[in-house]
Amino acid sequence: MATSTFERRSPPIKLAELSSLSAADSAAINAVLARLKNLPGALLPILHGVQEALGHVPKDAVPVIAKSLNLSRAEVHGVISFYHWYRTEKPGEHVLHLCRAEACQAVGGRALEAHVKASLGIDFHETTADGRYTLEPAYCLGNCAVGPSLMIDGALKGRVTADRFDRLTGVTA
């Protein structure tokens, strides 16, 4: 009785790493990783570092960060998508965080929100057509005593009215 042996051959598959990261972006990400990857719980400090360096956490940074920390891509992506603070798209020249918490809403936050959206012509998580402003919601800026509050490029502003918003940004509807 003849026996046949079946040898399964499959060509070696080598997936090329496709990345849209520029050399400068890769260098910035690698510098953050080199500086922070040995910290306990390094993922959050690294994500903050990458966003600080690039203005956002590019989707192609996820596998690089995951590999460096011996995590899955899903774990890194899960953290990025869980926290509202992280952006995966490049922001506008100026980032506005408008407080939507109860204390700010109680002192005119909703009217301010409507004015800001109408003035900029965008909704939350969007950037103006000219790339000048990105509008993000914040769920408390810790400035409740002097709301409504707005943060412009990290600078906290209190008692923001529609007129004050227009003066701060130079935007008018």
11-66 pLDDT, tens digit per residue, is 666 555 668 899 999 999 999 999 999 999 999 999 999 999 999 999 999 999 99
Q: Is the pLDDT of residue 71 over 90?
A: yes
Work out the pLDDT band at 170, boundaries 50, 70, 90.
confident
Residue 113 structure tokens: 């929100």
Q: In whole angstroms, what is the distance from residue 172 CA to residue 167 CA?
A: 9
Instruction: State the DSSP string of 128-173.
Output: -TTS-EEEEEES--S-GGG-S-EEETTEEE-S--HHHHHHHH----
126-162 pLDDT, tens digit per residue, is 999 999 999 999 999 999 999 999 999 999 999 999 9
9 versus 140: the higher-pLDDT residue is: 140
